[in-house]
Structures are given as C-alpha cells and as structure tokens.
Amino acid sequence: MAREEAKKEAPSNPTIRALEEAWTDESRISIRAYIWGMTVMKNPPSLWITINPTDTHDPIVQVLAGEQIELDAFDCTAGLDSAQWAKIIVDDPYAAAKFFHFVIGAILEELFGITIHSHG
C-alpha cells in the first residue's frame, strides 16, 4: 500500500479503495450539513462525564488535612502507606471535601473555562 501511495496509484486492496471512494469532499460536506441540520432541529449533543478524584492517594489532600508534606520534593514511595493515608482522610472528612471542591474547581476552570466564584 505504501508503494502504491508513493506512486500515486489507486489502492489494490478493495476495502481501502471503497473507503477512499466513499469519503469524498462532497460526501463529507453533505454529512456535516446533515449533522448541523440535526443540531438545529434537535439541539446540540450533550456531554455527560463523571469526575471522581481519589482523595486517599493524593498528596494535596494530605496537605489540606494538615500533614507536613514537601510537595516540591514529593516521593510517593516514601512516607505513609495507603492505610495510613486512608485513616487521615477518615479522621478529617472536611479536608476530603475541600480537596474535592479544589479539584472540581480546577477541572472546570482549566478544562472547560468555567470560572467558579466562592460564596462568602
């Protein structure tokens, strides 16, 4: 196939040839127009996502819980094990909530451009 393409020949593989013939510029324009027409008639598509940050293994939530962690020189293999990290989160659910709010706010602002304003 690479040789055929380099020589500007039609592909010898019938499947590849059928795909190339099916997707002409005109067919792409026609399909795009159909899609845009459907969005006018039925509204644009919705995006449904679930954001589920894990708080038991993240050093940021440990800092929010009051642990002394040097984030600039953080080594995930040193220090507390996962059971100890989980106990810290269980003992301080407010830190877990602050972490969740922080992560969701960062994702909304940085990925989607939605600015979050605090109440108070």
User: Which tens digit of pLDDT belongs to each residue from 37-70?
Assistant: 988 888 888 878 888 888 877 778 888 888 777 7
Q: In this predicted structure, what is the pLDDT of residue 8?
A: 81
Distances from the Cα of 54 to the Cαs of 30, 51, 60, 80, 90, in angstroms? 44, 10, 11, 16, 13
Among 34-48, 63-77, 81-95, 100-114, the least confident range: 63-77
Among 11-15, 31-35, 37-41, the minimum mean pLDDT is found in 11-15
Q: What pLDDT score was predicted for residue 33?
A: 92
The whole-number pLDDT of residue 109 equals: 92
pLDDT at 66: 85
What's the mean per-residue pLDDT of the chain? 82
Residue, of 24 and 91, whose pLDDT is higher: 91
Q: How far is CA 69 from each of CA 27, 35, 44, 49, 53, rounded to the nearest angstrom?
A: 58, 51, 45, 32, 20
More confident residue, 16 or 98: 98
Q: Look up the pTM and report it.
A: 0.52
Please give the span between the terminal C-alpha atoms of the chain, in angstroms, as a whole number: 64
